[in-house]
Amino acid sequence: MLSHVAYIEDDSLTAICSNIPNVKDRGKLVHRLVEAYGLFKFMKIFPVIPASRDDLVSFHSQSYVDFLFEANEWSDFEQREDDQLEYGLGYDCPLFKNIYEFASLVAGGSLTAAKVLVDGDAQVAINWCGGWHHAQRDEAKGFCYVNDIVIAIHKLRERFDRVLYIDLDAHHGDGVENAFSFSPKVMTVSFHNYDLGFFPCSGAINEVGFGAGKYYSVNVPLKDGVTDEQYSWLFTGVMDLVKTVFRSDAIVVQCGADCLTGDPVGTFNLTPHSLGVCVQKVLSWQQPTLFLGGGGYNITNTAKCWTFLTSLMVGQNLSSDIPDHPYFLRYGPDFDIEISVGLRKNNNIPSDLKKIVDMISTNLSQIL
């Protein structure tokens, strides 16, 4: 069994995350399923230390943080609509009451997890309420109001010189990549859908970073219908290359579950087993590692997935039968932890996937 696994669990963070309609109650389902399987006893549980304004401006602009602070108590969100639009607040990121408190808690969850690793209190830290990878320095984007990942990476770099960031979400991790696109100290690797019109319409294989950070951004663009076997093969091939050229001191993994089959916004055929292959490979490197949530809009499938991944981190096997607990009825009619393989048409041709690995190999060879 792996020892020294930390888990962030805080009622305030879980409750306030329910303000995002697309993931309402998701945190509660995840935590209670992890608890129902008895996994808490194999981990150290840490409450959230809210992020300070100084923590938030370690990445976000002062003006954006000030706006969130000012808007925290608003009740009429139609006022100052022009200012809201300036900061990306509208459409997919609607303003809501206690928005600053939300940002402080979301960032604080991942900061708390990162601090656990920095202080050496655990080798693995988990924050399933984190992973908001689209937020930019001065605007909200794609359901993401604060980029807890970038802020957590800054905290990790207080102790760990080189940080590897891996993004498994169905969507390109654009906010994190943009934050470090000029840095050779943080390598970002994103596996995502890159079909025409798929949000955020970035993450092509030739997007490799800039200046001193050129070739430290790695993108793995995929098409609809990728399978567990293809995804596992790609992850192994790409990450073996990455590990050879980028000798990381710590790792951050965003485990967005919208890459799973059955997700209302995802287009892949994946089950949690391929994500499990990815997680186990990262764990085998035995480096301080922060695991985060992210997308995942089929709420019960996301809870199943993250509970399964948690079980791998603590070295426990799960019964296929969902245990009785307050949210048990949400898992009907089968009440099974397994997720069936998707049947969406697979547009990923093996020769194209090999070309992706070959091109990444060529790009990475430039920094040897």
The residues that are catalytic are 134
- H/E/C letters for each residue in 238-280? HHHHHHHHCCCCEEEEECCHHHECCCCCCCCCECHHHHHHHHH
CA dihedral 194, 312, 161, 128 (to 10 degrees): 60
Q: How many Cβ atoms sit within 10 Å of the Cβ of residue 214?
A: 15
Q: Under 8 Å CB-to-CB from 33, ≥6 apart: which residues?
A: 303, 304, 307, 322, 325, 327
Tell me which DSSP letter residue 3 carries: -
State the DSSP string of 91-108: TTB---TTHHHHHHHHHH
Which residue type, as a one-letter code, is found at position 225? G
And the tokens for 307? 């509970």
Residue whose token pair is 């916004």: 265
As a whole number of angstroms, the distance between CA 322 and CA 331 comes to 8
Residue whose token pair is 């908001």: 132
Least Cα distance to 337 among 272, 286, 255 occurs for: 272
